[in-house]
Structure formats: structure tokens, C-alpha cells
């Protein structure tokens, strides 16, 4: 049996600022979100299995997401010295993604009868050079995570439907994660 309230409490105790459940029909998939990836402002488009185009076509990804029963959206908040310093914000993003990996691993151990599918922030950077560039399979399929945006998920719309806001300021940086459950 899926007790979402217990899982939400666990995510907060684990270190998230907030966690809220949502219904999968509330997820808005939008090709415009994926087009931001194509602009390649981060420099990771076409460089790894977890970013477009390697992660797959949006319609296939939507089908994958809709196989799950419930979703949880959560946010981690981090102090930042200079929000315009890309190196610093990348380190914080990686900290958020490590949080997501550890959280997912702990939930998988705690609830072995459930399947969890995490989505983090930005690109996967587990490997110095991803096998995608060499035509090889991912060597960390249980640890690699994609972002909700790579799946075409409109996080702004999802946050709003959950009654939440994206919070940040000059001295704090917030990252959002999604956890699908079945």
C-alpha cells in the first residue's frame, strides 16, 4: 500500500524544503520546454543519455511517465555566495542531484515493493565522458537521472498546480526534483 503522507514526511526529514504529491494527469508536457534544451545554453545538449536527444522523444517519455501512479515534487534550498557564478551553481546543482540519488536509494530500500523514478536538475554528470558520445550504453543506469525538463515537463505549471512557488533570492538557490512512484 502506498502511504504518500509517510513518504512526504520522510523526504522533508531527509532534507527537502518541501514535498508535495501530485496526480500524473496534472503534468503538462510541452515541446517548448524541450526547445530550451536545444538552445544548448548549458552546453550539454547531445552529450549524454539523460539529456535530449539521447533521453528520447517527448511522446515516448510521456508514456513512460504515465505508467506511474503518483508523483512527488520537492525542493532543496542552498545558500549561494554569487548566484551568477556558474561554477558555484553547478556545484550546488550536483549537490541537489546527489540528494536525489541518495533519497531514491533510501526509499528503494525502505519500500522495496514500490518502484521509484527520480528526476533531478540539469544534466547527468556521473561520468567525465558519457558513453552516449561513444555509442555505448550508460554504465550507471540505476544512478543516472534525467531532469524533468528533458522529459518536456513544465515545472512552473506543475509547481503552480501543487500550490507551490519556485523560490530563490540573491543568497539562496533552489532546485526542484520530481519522484514518480508505482
Is residue 79 within a helix (H) or strand (E), and if so which, with residue range? strand 70-79
Per DSSP, 28 falls in state P
Q: What is the pLDDT of residues 106-159, one digit of tens each?
A: 999 999 999 999 999 999 989 999 999 999 999 999 899 999 999 999 999 999
CA angle 5, 78, 165 (to 5 degrees): 55
Find, among 97, 95, 100, the residue nearest to 179 by Cα. Answer: 100
Domain ranges of the chain: 4-181
> Could you report the per-residue pLDDT of 12-67, keeping only the tens digit for each?
999 999 999 999 998 999 999 988 888 988 889 999 999 999 999 999 999 999 99
Whose cell is 561513444? That residue is 134
- How confident is the model at residue 170, as a pLDDT? 83
84 touches 168 (CB < 8 A): no
3-state helix, strand and coil shares in percent for the chain, rounded to the nearest 5: 40, 20, 40
Confidence at 165, pLDDT banded by 50, 70, 90: confident
Residue 34 has which C-alpha cell?
524541450
What pLDDT, on the 0 to 100 scale, is given for residue 3? 87
* Average pLDDT score over the chain: 93
Where residue 182 falls among pLDDT bands split at 50, 70, 90?
very high
Q: Which three cell numbers stand for residue 100?
A: 536525489
> Bridge partners of 116?
181
What pLDDT does 30 receive?
A: 92
Q: pLDDT band at residue 94, thresholds of 50, 70 and 90?
A: very high
Average pLDDT score over residue span 170-176: 91
Please report the pLDDT score of residue 2 as a whole number: 72
For 38-52, write each residue's pLDDT tens digit.
Answer: 898 888 999 999 999
Angstrom CA distances, 90 to 100, 140, 173, stand at 15, 21, 11
Res. 100: pLDDT tops 60: yes
Question: What pLDDT score does 166 carry?
Answer: 74
For CA atoms 54, 154, 173, 41, the dihedral sign is positive
Predicted local confidence at residue 1, as pLDDT: 55
Q: Is the pTM of this model over 0.85?
A: yes
Amino acid at each position: 500500500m502506498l502511504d504518500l503522507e509517510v513518504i512526504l514526511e520522510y523526504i522533508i526529514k531527509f532534507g527537502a524544503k518541501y514535498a508535495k504529491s501530485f496526480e500524473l494527469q496534472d503534468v503538462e508536457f510541452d515541446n517548448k520546454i524541450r526547445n530550451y534544451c536545444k538552445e544548448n545554453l548549458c552546453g550539454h545538449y547531445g552529450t549524454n543519455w539523460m539529456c535530449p536527444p539521447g533521453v528520447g522523444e517527448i511522446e515516448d517519455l510521456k508514456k513512460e511517465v504515465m505508467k506511474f501512479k503518483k508523483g512527488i515534487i520537492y525542493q532543496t534550498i542552498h545558500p549561494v555566495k554569487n548566484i551568477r557564478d556558474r561554477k558555484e551553481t553547478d556545484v550546488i546543482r550536483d549537490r541537489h542531484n546527489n540528494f536525489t540519488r541518495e533519497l531514491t536509494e533510501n526509499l528503494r530500500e525502505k519500500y522495496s515493493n514500490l518502484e521509484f523514478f527520480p528526476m533531478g536538475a540539469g544534466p547527468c554528470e556521473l561520468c567525465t565522458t558519457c558513453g552516449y558520445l561513444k555509442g555505448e550504453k550508460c554504465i550507471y543506469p540505476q544512478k543516472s537521472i534525467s531532469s524533468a525538463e528533458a522529459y518536456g515537463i513544465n515545472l512552473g505549471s506543475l509547481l503552480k498546480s501543487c500550490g507551490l512557488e519556485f523560490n530563490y533570492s540573491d543568497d539562496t538557490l533552489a532546485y526542484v526534483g520530481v519522484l514518480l512512484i508505482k
